[in-house]
Amino acid sequence: MTATRRQILGAGALTAGAALAWPAQAAAPERPAASPAAGGTDLLRARRLRPGDTLALVSPANATYEREPLDIAVDAVQALGFKVKLGAHVRGRYGQFGGTDAQRAADINDAFADDEVAGILALAGGSGCNRIVDKLNYALIRRKPKFFGGFSDLTSLVNAIHRQTGLITFHCPVAGSEWNEFSVQHFKAVVMDAEPDLLSNPQERSGNIVPTQDRISTLRAGVARGPLVGGNLAVLSSLAGTPYFPDCQGAILFLEEVNEYIYRVDRMLSTLRLSGALDRLAGVVLGKFTNCGPGDGHFGTLTLDEVFDDYFLPLNVPVYRGALIGHIRRKFTVPVGQPAEMDALAGTVRLLSAAVT
């Protein structure tokens, strides 16, 4: 019998001590010698998700203050065809976070340890994932690779897990996202159907003679191949200089942002440039920079176009802007660490193989 949402919410929690006890403060990991694509840590792929699989919902970032958002997230994951198991602290709160650092990390570690769980999906983004990247059991994750996904603040975890273990993770909608037809189609293609998906914006004219929505802007034409790394710019730049920052050598870097003044976007990009992260990229894919403007009193500053030109044109690699990646309704599912080919003139990213087994 299929469990109701009430049964799931009442009895489906992961126990804090399930399968593996893991200390709140893990030893700091060693930096891998090289990225999987460069021949270092072996590239790991989780098995594809199948209808009827159990997904663990965890809250590694912000707390969920009301009951309804959790209900909606559970309904959405069930509508995708999965069973739901809630992390023991998914309803937790410590300040703005979904529990203490130890609790949030424990839910992730327990989900990887739990043989009943086929994959782990974040309930929501927000903030706080940087606080727990050093508390995950990466040795366990290497032994039991599973689907792990989320976006926004989850940029920390999807990149840290890939960097430390070689596991392909997924920059994808969180459980509490709007799961519209477009987002569901790309999620299922990449994660369930194991397709070498083509990430391409739809060209909708909406009654106009030319497309006016979700347009692609090519900064520098060209084709490049490399592993996909990246995510939210603010979160990614905050990892610079740590063992959890992705190996960008020969990589295709994808970036998105929301609600940041342009001068802050400029400062974050300067952090990536000064850290050397931009030096040996194969290419750059810029997603949506939603509500990123000059801000009150800052008119006359550089535009986003000018900032992107300043940082990316000198790299002499293919760059395009406008991919459906970011804090937007329709989202691609982007596998972090997956080898891909980008075409900056066409505005596409093609996965070179399946991201799951």
> For residue 270, what pLDDT band results from cuts at 50, 70 and 90?
very high
Q: Tell me if residue 324 falls in helix, strand or coil.
A: coil
Name the packing angle between helices 262-275 and 304-312 (round to 10°): 10
206 is catalytic: no
- The answer to whether 332 and 187 are in contact (CB under 8 A) is no
Q: Is the pLDDT of residue 291 over 80?
A: yes
Q: What percent of the chain has pLDDT over 70?
A: 88
Burial class (CB in 10 A: 0-12, 13-18, 19+), 154: buried
Residues 140 and 202 in one domain: no
Average pLDDT over residues 218-245: 98
Q: Please give the residue range of the domain that contains residue 344.
A: 198-351
Is 356 among the domain residues? no
Residues 206 and 124 in one domain: no
Average pLDDT over residues 255-279: 98
Among the ranges given (20-24, 204-208, 217-221), the one the predictor scored with the smallest mean pLDDT: 20-24
Nearest CA to 284 among 261, 259, 312, 264? Answer: 312
Q: What is the pLDDT of residue 201?
A: 96
Q: Which H or E run includes 251? A: none
Question: Last residue of a domain, which of 165, 192, 219?
Answer: 192
**Greater confidence, 8 or 332?**
332
Q: Tell me if residue 311 falls in helix, strand or coil.
A: helix
Among the ranges given (7-11, 64-68, 71-75, 305-309), the one the predictor scored with the smallest mean pLDDT: 7-11
Among the ranges given (79-88, 135-144, 296-305, 324-333), the one the predictor scored with the smallest mean pLDDT: 296-305
Q: What is the pLDDT of residue 36?
A: 54
Residues 205 and 104 in one domain: no
Catalytic residue among 171, 177, 238, 256: 256
Residues 69 and 40 in one domain: yes
pTM of the model: 0.89
The token pair at 297 is: 């009193």
Residues 184 and 295 in one domain: no
Q: What percent of the chain has pLDDT over 90?
A: 83
> For residue 300, what pLDDT band results from cuts at 50, 70 and 90?
confident
Catalytic residue among 35, 59, 152, 156: 152
Among the ranges given (26-30, 184-188, 207-211), the one the predictor scored with the smallest mean pLDDT: 26-30
- The answer to whether 188 and 211 are in contact (CB under 8 A) is no
Is 357 among the domain residues? no
Q: Is the pLDDT of residue 128 over 80?
A: yes
Is 42 among the domain residues? yes
Is 255 among the domain residues? yes
Q: Is the pLDDT of residue 38 over 60?
A: no
In this structure, how many other beta carbons lie within 10 angstroms of the beta carbon of residue 322?
18
Number of domains in the chain: 2
Arithmetic mean of pLDDT over the chain:
90
The token pair at 338 is: 């997956």
Residues 82 and 42 in one domain: yes
Bridge partner residues of 319 (DSSP): 220, 284
Residues 72 and 144 in one domain: yes
Catalytic residue among 177, 257, 327, 341: 327
Q: What is the pLDDT of residue 298?
A: 67
Burial class (CB in 10 A: 0-12, 13-18, 19+), 52: exposed
Q: Is the pLDDT of residue 35 over 80?
A: no
Distance between CA atoms of residues 118 and 55, nearest Å: 6
Residues 53 and 159 in one domain: yes
Residues 204 and 184 in one domain: no
Q: Is the pLDDT of residue 26 over 90?
A: no
Residues 225 and 345 in one domain: yes
| Strand ranges, E, within 95-204 | 119-122, 147-150, 169-171, 198-200
Distance between CA atoms of residues 270 and 110, nearest Å: 37
Bridge partner residues of 283 (DSSP): 252
Q: What is the pLDDT of residue 187?
A: 98
Question: Last residue of a domain, which of 171, 192, 213?
Answer: 192
Helices (H), 63-100: 67-79
**CATH number for the domain harbouring residue 299:** 3.50.30.60
152 is catalytic: yes
Residues 185 and 202 in one domain: no
**CATH number for the domain harbouring residue 130:** 3.40.50.10740
Phi, psi of 342 (to 5 degrees): -110, 145
256 is catalytic: yes
Residues 39 and 60 in one domain: yes
> For residue 41, what pLDDT band results from cuts at 50, 70 and 90?
low
Q: Which H or E run includes 54? A: strand 54-58
Q: What is the pLDDT of residue 42?
A: 84
